[in-house]
Every structure is written in C-alpha cells, then in structure tokens.
Chains A and B, each alone.
Chain A
Amino acid sequence: MLNVTQLTKIFGQTKAVSDATFEVGLGELICLLGPSGCGKSTLLRMIAGLTPADGGQIAIDGQDMTARQANRRPTAMVFQSHALWNHMSVAQNVSFGLRVQGLPKAVIADKVAAALTLVGLDGFAKRRPTELSGGQAQRVALARCLVVEPKVLLMDEPFSALDAHLRANLREELKSLQRRLQLTTIFVTHDQEEAMELADRIVVMHAGVIEQIGPPGELYLNPQTLTVARFIGQMNEATVTLCGGRADWLGQPVSIAAPDGLVTLLCRPEDMHPGSAGIPGRIARVIDLGPMLRVSVATAEGATLTWLCSRDVNPQPGAAIRLRATRLLAFHDGRRIGGRRIGTAQPLMELRQMESVTP
C-alpha cells in the first residue's frame, strides 16, 4: 500500500531522518513513536509532501510519489493545532477539499453531511471554528480529511493538546472509525500509551533513525535496542561487566553468552518477584497506582529497584525483602544480546542458563 524506502531529510548539519524504510498495509494503523525532535513529524511531513525529501522514495499503491507536491498526493493530514480556517464555517472547512476538486454542489453537500455524521458532529455545519471545543475542532479537522477519501490518512499528534480523559475517548473513537472504514493511517505521537492502544504496528524512532518496527506487545516484550526498551514502559536498569560470560548483578551471579565487556541489564518492574532467595533490600516507598502498587526497594549496594506488585501483597515501608527477576534483558552497545523468560518459581541463579537471542 504505502512503501517508504530509505527516506532521508537533512537540516543543515543534522540528519533529521535517515534512511527510514517501512511499509504500511491496506487498512493498517501505524504509529510513529518517539521523543520530541526524533524526526517522526518530519517523516510524516515528507510522506504528505509538505517537506521535500533529500533522498529515498515514497510509493503509494506502487506509484512513485516522491516528486509530487502535497496537493497532488492521495494523502490528507490532521494537524496538531487542528489548523481549521476560522473565516469559514464548519461546513465550509469540511467541504474545502471537494470544492477544490470542483464537484457539483449537491454532491458536496451530501458528502459533507455524511462526514460530519461520521465524526458525530451533526448539526454543527453552520458553526464557526471559534465556537468549538478542542475535541470538536479536532473532529472537524478529521472530517475535513475523511471527506476527500484519502488513500493514506496522516495524523500529526492530533490529540496532544487535549486533556487526558478526552484524549482517551477520541482515541477509542478514532480506532473504531479507522477499523470500520479500513483507513490506512499513520499516526505520529510521543505518548507510548497512545501508540500501544491505537497501533497495529509501532515504528519507534530515535534521533532520526528507526529503532524497531513491530506490534505493541512485541516491542514491549522484546525490545531490540536499549532506546526502545527505555522508551516503552518502565525498566530497572543496571550496567555490569561481563567477564567469561559471567557478571554480578547486585550480588547475584548472571551468565550471558556474549563477548566480554560492559553489558546493560534491564528488568521490568512486573518481572520482579519476592522470595526467599534474591537481591536483599528494604522497602523505601509504596506508591498506590490504583490497580497495582509501585514499590521502591533500596538494596544494600545503594541501588533502587522498582517492583510492581498486586494490592493484596500489602508491602510495608521499612520491611526487609528479597527480590528476584524472572525475566532479564541484556544489551551491549545499545543492541540486544540476550534475554529469556524463566519460570516464576525458579530463583535468579538460573539466569545462568540464559541464552543469546541475537548475537
């Protein structure tokens, strides 16, 4: 459907996007996820044709789009600022793309009415954009794009200016609308929760480079780079020195099949479990997250471990505890070198059997 090949953008000395390559299937929703300034918006704007690419190719349905101007591409974009024209009514905003195409008035009126119904804004046609709430304005912006029936819908952090509750609602609506209409969509966000909830697949970007592409669960469980692991979800992190395939993590021996050197070990808070063996420490703080408790444990070495536990465990601050990790990820030079899920009943020592996943 949409193929992006080695797309590159250079601003002065810096590569804003370098060699971005990915494909989007028909009806698929892809999220471009990354911290601000990682190049995700630039990548989206290149696909829209609003920013010229310095290298690479964009093809939609096999047709090369790279040299085409934005107004000749079958894409439509929803902007972060909604970018509605306040000198036009809602209906005039939505009908703009159709009027430009020179369609008959009756056809335009029908399509505009249908688009407004689709986004749940019946009866808003005569309003001015200044009379709309933030959420309504973004719905109009979406209707304005949907009405031209783009092959690819592009969304540049469309909900980031809205409050959390409204954002969650709009996200759900967008997802069901996207499924129903089989809209091929690229959604840019810096909010990993938003990406996890919306995306069929997530493209994680950092410093202009695509770090990893995969379904949300895959990125969470098997991050391939340190950047992805750190960006998505929470991690306990420690740097250890690997010597002869062995290392020491807070007094616990760990074995990893990798060349000697510095290795970063990561463990998710929910993969920590209390037991008779494991890293000794004292509970420093308990934060009630509602469904779960987040517990900070201070170890004898002076490190702090985060442990996510269920409410009925009822940990008390000051109490002594031993924590073991049931799943560790190992990274060398920012790349994944090992990681293995081990049975929850087994003690940490058995991590010695950990195999190398990607050498």
Chain B
Amino acid sequence: MSFLRRAPLGGILLLSVMAVLMVGPILTVVVWAFAEKWRYPNLLPTVWGLKYWYVMLGRDTVINPIVTSIALTTVATSLAALICWPAAYAFARLRFPGRQVFLFSFVAAQAVPKFALFVSIAVVFLRLDLIGTFWGVVFVQMLSAMLVMIWIPAAAFRGIPPALEEAGFDLGASRLRVFLLITLPQAMPALAASYVLAYVGILFEVDSALLIGAPQITTMPLVLLSSASQVIVQEAAVLCVMIWVPCFAVLLLTRRFMSSKGIAQGFGA
C-alpha cells in the first residue's frame, strides 16, 4: 500500500467519499437481495437467505424477460457494431460531401426526446407489422446505440496516425488486411468502450420496449418498473442484481480483449 503513504490526505478523503457514494447504494441493494428479514434499527439483516431468489427465479414473468433482454441487447448491440464501426471509420478517414451534416444528425436525433421519436417510429412500424416483434425492438434499440457507436469509434479512428496504416499498406498488405491487423487493434480499447456503453444503455432502455415491444416483448427494465409499485423490497433488489449480471459479463468479456487500462483509455482516461 505504498501509494497510500504517498497520497495526500485530501485525495484519500475524496476517494473514500466517492467510494461510499458509488459503492454504497449498490451494496445496499445487494444486501437487500440476500436479506430475508432486515428491520430498523439493525445495521445488517437478521435473517439471510436465498428465499426471494427462489421466488423470483420460479416466475416465468421474470425468467422470460431476462432471456429476452439479454438476447435483444446482444443482437442489437452487435448489429449496431457491425454497421456503425465501419461507418465510423469512413467518417474518420474519408472526405465525402455532407460528412459533417451526417455526423451531426446523430446528435440531433439524440436531442429530440426519445419518447417522441419512438412514437413516430411506432406509427410506421404499425403499418409494417413490426410492432410487438423481436426485430422491431432490435431495430429501434440499434438506433439509440448509433450515437455512442459512431462518435466514440470515429474519434478513436481519427486518433490513429495515418502513417501507421500507410506503413502496413507499403509493406504489401491489402487495405482490408491493414484494417484488420492494424487499424482495428489500435482502436480496440475505444471500440470495446463504445460496445459496453451501448450494451448497458440498451439493456436499461425502457421506452422502446414499452412502445414497440409491448405486450408481446417484455424486457427486464419493464419488469423492474412494474415491480417498483410492489412493496416487497427484496424482490426488486433481486431483480436489480439479476440485471447487473449481463452487464458484468460484458465488462468481463471486454476485459479479456484488453487490460482495464485499455478500457479506461477508451473512455477517455
């Protein structure tokens, strides 16, 4: 712990406050998820157990949305990546008419309240018979991932010196090979960061599922919303912990591709 000895007191204090603020609420929820009895003035639950986990996992209305949510989010994020990353590369490297307008339009779409946007999409989807379908929701969720999936990678691609790509091209590699062997690995931390951001954003997204998916497609956040009206704290807590699991899984997966330092770099640290 040599860094603690060298760190100024103010820094340690700030770090502690931040840790309490960030970890505190999460910890409370986690404790609630495993508490069978927890009444004031006890600092910790008096009875621990997995009772509410059995309750929740026993309900189809919980399990099905989990599966739906994970499937929806994974498909939507991956599809968005397939479309957006090459587009981001084009925005970063190529000069074409309307480039700025195009790039800006992604922000403009975010400036409009999403709910309004989804209502107008829902009108179109009604005609196309996409309301209440898996792919209808995937399409809408992809739209909301566009901004993160294009702006972050575009900035990352722009940050790669052209000489790095030219050196590969000069040594005999095709353009595609240069992209796969040089550009992509160089941009990987930022790409992973954009993937995580988009994944989490889509996973917790409520509006699109509500407007486009319901009632056939029910996602985790929708279940969470409806359970918020119920009084049983433990059930909501269990749901919360469950919904974190896929997020952590994605984070761990991206960690496999790079160091945590790389991810932090991707987020601009």
Contact = CB atoms under 8 A, between A and B. Distances in A.
A69 B173 CA distance: 11
A70 B182 CA distance: 16
Interface stretch (B34-42, B122-130, B134-142, B160-168): B160-168
Contacts of B166: 50, 70, 77, 79, 83
Interface string A144-183: 1100100000000000000000000000000000000000
Interface in A114-148: 141, 144-145, 148
Contact of A96 (B161, B171, B185): B171
B161 A77 contact: no
Contacts of B182: 85
Nearest to B184: A87
Interface residues of A, number: 24
Given A96-B173, A144-B171, A87 B163 contact: no
B186 interface: yes
B172 A71 contact: yes
Contacts of B173: 71, 96, 100
A87 B184 CA distance: 10
A112 B161 CA distance: 25
Nearest to B189: A87
A149 to B, nearest CB: 12
A81 interface: yes
B172 A97 contact: yes
Interface residues of B, number: 18
A87 B262 CA distance: 11
A50 B186 contact: no
Contacts, number: 59
Given A71-B174, A100-B177, A83 B164 contact: yes
Contacts of B181: 96
A79 B171 CA distance: 12
Interface string B184-215: 01101000000000000000000000000000
A83 B185 CA distance: 15
Interface of B is mostly: helix
Interface in A86-119: 87, 96-97, 100-101
Contacts of B172: 71-72, 97, 100-101, 148
A87 B186 contact: yes
A97 B163 contact: no
Nearest to A78: B167
Contact of B171 (A69, A81, A87, A148): A148
A75 interface: yes
A75 B170 contact: yes
Q: Could you say which of A50, A76, A87 has the most chain B C-beta atoms within 10 Å of its C-beta?
A: A87
A79 B186 contact: no
B169 interface: yes
Interface in A41-92: 48-50, 69-72, 75-77, 79-81, 83, 85, 87
Contacts of A87: 185-186, 188
A79 B169 contact: no
B163 A76 contact: no
A100 B171 contact: yes
Nearest to A69: B169
Contacts of A144: 167, 171
A11 to B, nearest CB: 13
Contacts of B167: 77, 79, 83, 85, 141, 144
A96 B168 contact: yes
Closest 3 CB pairs of A and B: A97-B171, A83-B163, A83-B167
28 contacts: A48-B170, A50-B166, A50-B169, A69-B169, A70-B166, A70-B169, A71-B170, A71-B172, A71-B173, A72-B172, A75-B170, A76-B170, A77-B170, A79-B166, A79-B167, A80-B163, A81-B163, A85-B168, A85-B185, A85-B186, A87-B188, A96-B181, A97-B171, A100-B173, A101-B172, A144-B171, A145-B171, A148-B172
